[in-house]
Amino acid sequence: MRVAAGLGLLLFSIPLAAQEVSAVNYRALTGEERWDYYIERTFRRPEVYLRSGALALADQSGDNPPEWQQGVDGFGRRMASRFGTGSVRVATEAAAAAALGQDPRYVSCGCDGTWNRVKHALTATLLTYNSHGERTFASARVGAAYASGMATLTWYPDRYGWKDGMRQGTQIVIAGGLANLLREFAPDLKRKVFGKRH
């Protein structure tokens, strides 16, 4: 139940923004663009804070972890934990992706057909583009999900162990797939709501 609430809040906090890049017009990031993208994903985008707050609210309502109790202090710890988990994930993915020549961005399908777009969005959780524009296993993305899940063990109560870190990593991977679906279809939703192309 807590996972479902958290995933729902995660998706709610993702903006209905235009796609950053499409498979049709794909171009690899330069070093400077990688740095800007990292800073943007870690600090500049309002949804970073909205997502952390929304997930912290879900944790607070589920009293997860109960050792942190309720109230302002408990919420503050949960918010810091969610922001920390996200920061570790983004930093790890950015560094590993740069070293491996992988793209950390979501690359939209640029294709026709709902099923093709759904399939593309879900596989983009495990696949990305390399510096030559070819699809490859997203080892930086997947590794960062599990690294950030394990990193939470450094500030979570002592009763949490490696299985909990792995579970959180898996939840991050699944949430990434759901977020990719929203990223893929958000421009369509935005056009329907606002009646114009952005």
Burial status of residue 160 (CB atoms within 10 A of its CB: 0-12, 13-18, 19 or more): middle
pLDDT value at position 14?
Answer: 52
**What is the token pair recorded at 18?**
């235009």
Report in angstroms the alpha-carbon separations of 146 from 22, 105, 139. 27, 18, 11
The residues with which 136 forms a beta bridge, in sequence order, are 128
pLDDT at 101: 93
What is the total count of domains within the chain?
Answer: 1
* pLDDT at res. 110: 85
pLDDT of residue 45: 82
pLDDT for res 107 = 87
At residue 16, the pLDDT reads: 41
Range of the domain at 77: 2-194
- Map tokens 């949960």 to a residue: 78
Per-residue confidence in pLDDT tens, the chain, 198 aa: 455 455 544 444 454 444 467 777 788 888 888 898 899 888 888 888 988 999 999 999 999 899 999 999 999 999 999 999 999 999 999 999 999 999 999 988 888 899 999 999 999 999 999 988 889 999 999 999 999 999 999 999 999 999 999 999 999 999 999 999 998 998 878 777 777 654
* pTM recorded for the entire structure: 0.81
Inter-residue contact 51 to 14 (CB < 8 Å): yes
The predicted pLDDT at position 3 comes to 55
